[in-house]
Amino acid sequence: MYEGNRSDENSFPKKKIVHLNPFQLRYIMKTIQTHDWLESLKPLFKKYGTRKHPLEHKNHYQLLVMVVLSARDSDKHINSIAPALFERYPSMKELAKATPEDLYPYIGKVTNFSSKAIWLTETAKVVGKDENIPHTIEELTALKGIGRKSANVIMSESGDEMEGGIVDLHTLRVSPRIGIAIGTNPVKIEKQLTEKIPQKYWKQLGMSLTFLGREICRPTNPKCPECPLNGVCEYYREKG
Ligand code: SF4
């Protein structure tokens, strides 16, 4: 899920490819690992750590449905179509009675709506009722249309104990810029982030990096002078 211009999200600034020898790579990894990232990220947590997720859900059921719908669409759009959908299908139990086609009038303008309609109606039939919505990564990712990132968002917003960190397109972009992680693989980025930040901060971590990417650390022209991390950010140090 993300906000704004879709093509903008993928327009990473072009970077020169730098080949590192094993010694340089080991040195960089050691520097990343020994840095006190919790301390460095505290100004970011202070700014964004208690922000509510932009999806305007009222319960666990609505959260799950909206997270599935928001994949490759904007939270703002999903917030606009959700009230009518939830008026007609107020719970898993009601949704379980629907066919995928029944959902089209409500979600027809959502990206990839036909697949999402199949996933949601199948999920509703599997889960049956709201109280049965899973609370673990393993069970959530077993449902159609829910990957690891979506499962982490659902757990984070439900108040469940986090089993990982939320790594969306924003986190994927800003983490290597800051210097807290390297690479482009979401699973590897998540591992590096959660190794450096204690579990009790994982919810704040996910929300903070996402909001940083949405509002300040944009794909092009990041607003570094106003960023709470400009004192520790590698990208800013190199470019500034
Ligand atoms: S200092 Fe600039 S590049 Fe670094 S995280 Fe902040 S906005 Fe992004």
Q: What is the DSSP string of 46-79?
A: HHHTTPPPSS--SSHHHHHHHHHHHTTS-HHHHH
pLDDT tens profile 30-78: 555 678 999 999 999 999 988 989 999 999 999 999 999 999 999 999 9
- Choose the residue to mutate in 235, 237, 238, 239 for probing ligand 1, maximizing ligand atoms within 8 Å of C-beta: 235
- The span from the CA of 88 to the CA of 80, in Å, is 15
pLDDT score for 38: 96
Residue nearest atom 8 in ligand 1 by C-alpha distance: 217
Q: Structural domain boundaries of the chain? A: 33-52+165-239, 60-158
* Tens of pLDDT, residues 189-204: 999 999 999 999 999 9
pLDDT at 17 over 70: no
Mean pLDDT of 2-27: 48
Q: Give the Cα separation of 20 and 13 in Å (integer).
A: 20
* Superfamily (CATH) of domain 60-158: Hypothetical protein; domain 2 (1.10.340.30)
- Please tell me the pTM assigned to this model: 0.83
Question: What pLDDT sits at residue 34?
Answer: 73
Report yes or no: 110 and 69 within 8 Å, Cβ to Cβ.
yes
- Average per-residue pLDDT in the chain? 89
Predicted confidence (pLDDT) per residue in 112-153, tens digit: 999 999 999 999 999 999 999 999 999 999 999 999 999 999
Closest by CA position to 189, among listed 201, 173, 202, 200: 173
State the fold for domain 33-52+165-239: Endonuclease Iii, domain 2 (1.10.1670)
Ligand 1 atom nearest to CA at 228 = 6
